[in-house]
């Protein structure tokens, strides 16, 4: 039996929010402290989170559940082609022009388990697309 799902990863769905809401002003966001990955934000207070271009960003891959003999965890790293600034449901590449995160970055996850139709290794495929083209 072939098992394949395509999902929109909830990270950017969570950030997306309502399309009709206007982003905070660039002046307001530029006044906030910028926390640069991999640093963790302070416990209190508002901030902008920056994922720097070309710096490795660690991604944890987890698999668990009652059908597995044991849990699986692996860490891989990826690098962004452009800086990415994040504030709640908003995203920016320059820290000045802000869009709803799902208007700037699209994320798609597909999973195919080994099956009768596709014997051999399964596949987890994460596609991260930049929606703004210069």
Which pTM does this prediction carry?
0.76
* Whole-number Å distance between alpha carbons of 105 and 128: 7
Cβ(130)–Cβ(82) below 8 Å: yes
Q: Is residue 60 over pLDDT 70?
A: yes
Domain count, the chain: 1
Top pLDDT among 134 and 43 is at 43
Range of the domain at 125: 4-18+25-39+47-130
Task: Tell me the pLDDT of the chain averaged across its residues.
Answer: 85
pLDDT band for position 134 (50/70/90)? low
State residue 21's pLDDT score: 76
Q: Is residue 127 over pLDDT 90?
A: yes
């Amino acid at each position: 039996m072939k098992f394949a799902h395509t999902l929109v990863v909830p990270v950017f769905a969570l950030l997306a929010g309502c399309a009709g809401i206007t982003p905070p002003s660039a002046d307001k966001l530029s006044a906030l402290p910028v926390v640069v990955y991999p640093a963790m934000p302070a416990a209190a207070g508002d901030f902008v989170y920056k994922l720097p271009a070309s710096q490795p960003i660690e991604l944890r891959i987890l698999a668990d559940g009652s059908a597995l003999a044991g849990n699986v965890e692996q860490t891989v790293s990826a690098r962004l082609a452009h800086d990415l600034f994040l504030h709640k449901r908003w995203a920016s590449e320059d820290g000045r022009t802000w869009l709803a995160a799902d208007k700037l970055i699209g994320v798609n996850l597909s999973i195919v388990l080994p099956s009768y139709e596709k014997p051999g290794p399964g596949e987890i495929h994460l596609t991260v697309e930049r929606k703004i083209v210069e």
